[in-house]
Structure 1
Amino acid sequence: MLKKTFNPVLIFMVAALLMQGCIKDHCTQTYSYFVPVYKTTEEVRANIKSNAPREMERTGKLYIRGNYIFLNEIDKGIHIIDNAIPTAPKNVAFIDIPGNMDMAVKGNTLYADAYTDLVTLDITDPLNAKTTKIVENAFPFRQYYGTFYPDNSKVIVDWVKRDTTVNIDCGNGGFFGIDLNKSEAFMYNDVRSLAGYSDQSMFNSSSSKSVSPFGTGGSMARFAVAGYYLYSVTLNDLNVFEISRPQQPSFTNKINIGENIETIFPFQQKLFIGSATGMYIYSISNGGNPVKESRFLHVQSCDPVIADEKHAYVTLRTGTTCNSVSNRLEILDIADINSPSLVKTYEMTNPHGLSKDGDILFICDGANGLKVYNAADVRNLKPITAIEGIETYDVIAMNNIALVVTSDGLYQYLYADPGNIQLLSKIKVKQQ
């Protein structure tokens, strides 16, 4: 059920000492906290469908299917964008899915997480998407920490910020806590999820114009569709769902991988799985029973990964719960799939998602923008350009168009001439 435990939200104070006055023995302090907005499970499920479009606020992961872009609104749902004309994309609908962080698409079917549940939607007509099945408790419970206890009989659909002023003891040296009931909590948002998305068609070595029967997902994905199976990584496990009947998925297998699993990328009957401590490679020749082939270890770090026929590309970064001390790109030789080896390391600023189309490599380098390289010789990457002034999170590059998720919206760039990359369009997030 959606009503179990929710949200990758860590609970603690988001507004420390904002105001403190002292008149004799009277001191006050103003702080902010967040109150959850609840709906019943029945109300939530009845509304998991295409609704009127919404402005973007906190964008997350990205998926492409045909002329449509599916863009996650963290913990709220999925924006549907008509991208038939890349210079003029249209935000046409929004699928309300509380607790959504990840997605995948196969044909006319979209898979998405809704807190602990797997939701399947028919998107034959994206403007009229509708739920066909919900697999309850498909993913580990999301947990709150601290003093907040959710109402487990309902679903959190939003958080409302409140400010308040309280009297405090002037001699206590500051106020760092408050008695909370079950409906009030301090909130800190963490974009790490317990399930995710991806797809196999993204990094073919050629720039084919053909449309895959699968959608295309970014490198930050935690879902992957390959053949008749949907794969999902959680913090410790690889979950397998059979989708031979796409709109009626069934859970078939769970494989313990290790700890702090983060991303998944499928390529040529392989799953490349990124973790905080390294990259795992699993064979999916027998789709329902993935088999570990090898592992490459690196220092503790968050680890998006992509691959082509010869190499795997891994970004490592600091400033996360992964406790990394490195910001770099690692390129691995995977000619011997059972023994990946490091080819070369390139220093970065704070790299996140990445994408590759032919010899052109795109890296989202956080606040340092989008970096573009000629990767024909992986031992000597040649910078082509750097697009600055945007804080980048993930990128999908295909058919000469790069879609880039940033802190302030969705950007599209034309790279038919890599030496003269041009901005095609941008959809900005709602100004707070």
Structure 2
Amino acid sequence: MKFKYLLLLSLLVSVWSCDNNDDDDYEFVQVATPQLMSKTAFRSAVKIDAPKSIEAVGKIYVYRNYIFIGDVDNGIHIIDNSNPELPEAIKFIKIPGNEDISVKDGFLYADSATDLVVFDIRDINNVEFVERLEDVFNVYDYAVPVEAQVVDYGKFDYNEDIIVGWTLATERRKKNTDVMFFDGDVLASNVESVTGVGGSLARFQIVNKYLYAVGNYEMSIFNIQNLKEPVLENTTYAGWNIETMFQADGYLYLGSTNGMYIYSLDNPNLPEYVSEFTHWEGCDPVVVDGDYAYVTLRGGNACGQLESVLEVIDISDKTTPTLAQRYTLENPYGLGVKENMLYVCDGTAGLKLFNRESPKDLVLVKTLKNVQAKDVIPLEESLLMIGDNTLYQYEYKENDVNLISAFKLN
């Protein structure tokens, strides 16, 4: 009997010892697993619908008397702004996987994950879906949860599937496995022409007969001379962690988490790299006016670990951009320029108005503290701003703005 107990004790010690050694080889991690939809089902989901509440406010765009507001990964809400005091939601275009749009002469171009889709909006009451270019974008933003330590792409087939969401779970996994860790990237007429205007967070820009689109590390160049039938002419490496794009005076300015890239449009179907300005890591929208570029860097989060600032960059020599001045901010996002004023969205710290008569010596003249500011579009007659699920419109005053309307989006 004593021998049996000793044998049992020996076995338990052996098992405990193995488990203890085994535990050293394992760890608990947050694993994100993609929720998948077949590309066939994904592409059949486009729909022109009645207005609805916005689930997650995205980017803002203006064309004629209409304001287009993105619903992140879901589509575009159309606002009739004929009367800025009483804007009216009139339509929703369901576009799964959508982030950005551009409009020219009544045709709206939008990304839909890997695809480019085209809509005829010349009759806003009868919007028509007219074209889809499949698999023209190798990179799309599928919004991996920030909590994820590991991304398990095990069942994802890039050729057949689209990532439409995520399941996040804590799992006990062996250390140093071959599971892919998140790196932020999956490979993959005679009438005057009218082009719309986007905010500083845009990744689409139309210049003459070309549509330029950037995503993470590449630029796609579409010829849109035939507005109904865009043609992908080129795809080229553009930099790293590209987030935004701004065009001015024959150049494209790409904002990345690590710097600003300048491209010349002398050859419009294949923009040529000119130079770059490198800064510390941070989310990086950029706007340009004359010899200066204005860049906001948001730190203290997934964008970067350092302070949040506004940088003024001298671009008078496009081959050698240099830092002219730096200002501390709290939580900056988008920004815009109108004459001698610079409007900076400082997140929860509100909208800040800087007089930029001397771009190297900005003067803060006003802060609207009662708003959460994300992005702005300075129009000829009014300033549009989006933030906190609200579309704000302001009229310009000297060193100030007055509220015209505040339109709730949900």
Q: Give your verdict on TM over 0.5.
A: yes
For residues 285-342 of structure 1, what are the alpha-carbon distances to aligned partners after superposition, in whole Å with 9 as ceiling and x for unaligned? 2110211111111112221111011111111111443324121111111111111121
Partner of 1:113: 111
Greater shift in the superposed pair: 399-408 or 44-53: 44-53
Q: Secondary structure at the match of 1:392?
A: coil
Partner of 2:147: none
Higher gyration radius (CA): 2
Once the two structures are TM-superposed, the CA of residue 126 in structure 1 deviates from its matched residue by 2.3
Once the two structures are TM-superposed, the CA of residue 258 in structure 1 deviates from its matched residue by 2.3
Out of 170, 181, 198, the residue aligned to residue 176 of structure 1 is 170
* In 1: Cα distance, 2:354 partner to 2:203 partner: 26
Q: Which amino acid aligns with 2:170?
A: F
Q: What does 1:32-431 align with in structure 2 at a 5 Å threshold? A: 45=43, 48-142=46-140, 146-147=151-152, 176-177=170-171, 213-415=194-396, 417-430=397-410
* In 2: Cα distance, 1:35 partner to 1:231 partner: 29
TM-score, normalisation: structure 1 = 0.75
Q: Describe the shift of the 1:37–1:276 C-alpha distance in structure 2 as closer, same or farther (beyond 3 A).
A: closer
For residues 249-281 of structure 1, what are the alpha-carbon distances to aligned partners after superposition, in whole Å with 9 as ceiling and x for unaligned? 111112212211111101111001111111111
* In 2: Cα distance, 1:154 partner to 1:339 partner: 43
Greater shift in the superposed pair: 419-428 or 130-139: 419-428
Q: Which amino acid aligns with 1:64?
A: V
Q: Which amino acid aligns with 1:176?
A: T
* In 2: Cα distance, 1:51 partner to 1:69 partner: 16
Q: Secondary structure at the match of 1:281?
A: strand
Q: Is the 8 A contact 1:50 1:126 kept in 2?
A: no
Q: Is the 8 A contact 2:110 2:118 kept in 1?
A: yes
Once the two structures are TM-superposed, the CA of residue 227 in structure 1 deviates from its matched residue by 1.0
* In 1: Cα distance, 2:245 partner to 2:283 partner: 13
Partner of 1:203: none
Q: Describe the shift of the 1:321–1:247 C-alpha distance in structure 2 as closer, same or farther (beyond 3 A).
A: farther
Q: Describe the shift of the 1:377–1:98 C-alpha distance in structure 2 as closer, same or farther (beyond 3 A).
A: same
* In 2: Cα distance, 1:243 partner to 1:313 partner: 29
Q: Describe the shift of the 1:379–1:212 C-alpha distance in structure 2 as closer, same or farther (beyond 3 A).
A: farther
* In 1: Cα distance, 2:114 partner to 2:135 partner: 5
* In 1: Cα distance, 2:59 partner to 2:283 partner: 16
Q: Which amino acid aligns with 2:73?
A: D
Specify every segment of 5 or more residues in structure 1 that has no aligned partner in the other structure, as ranges. Answer: 1-32, 163-174, 180-191, 195-210
* In 1: Cα distance, 2:162 partner to 2:261 partner: 35
Q: Which amino acid aligns with 1:252?
A: E
Q: Which amino acid aligns with 2:92?
A: F
TM-score, normalisation: structure 2 = 0.79
Q: Is the 8 A contact 1:384 1:418 kept in 2?
A: no
Once the two structures are TM-superposed, the CA of residue 373 in structure 1 deviates from its matched residue by 1.3
Q: Is the 8 A contact 2:33 2:153 kept in 1?
A: no
For residues 217-242 of structure 1, what are the alpha-carbon distances to aligned partners after superposition, in whole Å with 9 as ceiling and x for unaligned? 11111111101111111111111111
Specify every segment of 5 or more residues in structure 2 that has no aligned partner in the other structure, as ranges. Answer: 1-31, 145-149, 174-183, 187-191
Q: Secondary structure at the match of 1:260?
A: strand
Q: Which amino acid aligns with 2:77?
A: H
Q: Is the 8 A contact 1:262 1:273 kept in 2?
A: yes
Once the two structures are TM-superposed, the CA of residue 375 in structure 1 deviates from its matched residue by 0.9
* In 1: Cα distance, 2:193 partner to 2:255 partner: 24
| Count of residue pairs brought into register by the alignment | 355
Once the two structures are TM-superposed, the CA of residue 46 in structure 1 deviates from its matched residue by 5.1
Q: Is the 8 A contact 2:34 2:153 kept in 1?
A: no
Greater RCO, 1 or 2 (C-alpha within 8 Å, sep 6+): 1
Q: Is the 8 A contact 2:79 2:89 kept in 1?
A: yes
Once the two structures are TM-superposed, the CA of residue 49 in structure 1 deviates from its matched residue by 4.4
Q: Is the 8 A contact 1:98 1:156 kept in 2?
A: no
Q: Describe the shift of the 1:36–1:88 C-alpha distance in structure 2 as closer, same or farther (beyond 3 A).
A: farther
